[in-house]
Amino acid sequence: MKIESPRFGTLEVDPSKIIEFPRGLLGFEDCRRYTLLEPPGDDSKYFILQSLDDPALAFHVCDPSLFGFTYEISLSDEDAAAIQLADPAEAAVAVILSKPEGAAMSANLQAPLIINMASRRGLQHVFAKLDYAVTLKAGA
């Protein structure tokens, strides 16, 4: 499958690399098919979640552990069924990154992405209330 991304040019996407978000993402409910790309010439731990339904839509995402953050997420039976998740070991968690003009990069820890790497299906899990404490390690 080919898409024309305004940011990345012509992209050839292997159908086996498509990730479906059956409910879309917050604010982008109509965009349900994505693929993960590695930024060109970049060996970082960040990836690009490129929409296949709207080639102009792409998010930078990463593993929340890069920010020293880990989750314990309990999915409802309905959510687990939506992404065909029977084995938690098949799940990957990512957070969407943003960098508003003139501001530092931040991660949306309130609404992580959960992707079943086996079924290539995902969802955005929105916490009604996320209780976490920020601590600094010595030398940080």
User: pTM to 2 decimals?
Assistant: 0.85
Summarised one tens digit per residue, pLDDT across range 106-122 is: 888 899 999 999 999 99
Q: Report all structural domains of the chain as residue ranges with CATH numbers, in order of start.
A: 2-124 (2.30.290.10)
pLDDT band (50, 70, 90) for residue 38: confident
CA 73 to chain centre: 15
The torsion defined by the Cα of 117, 40, 48 and 122, in degrees rounded to 10, comes to -10
Please give the Cα distance from 139 to 62 (Å, whole number).
24
Summarised one tens digit per residue, pLDDT across range 3-26 is: 999 988 899 999 999 999 999 999
**Contact 119/82 with Cβ under 8 angstroms?**
no
pLDDT band (50, 70, 90) for residue 130: low
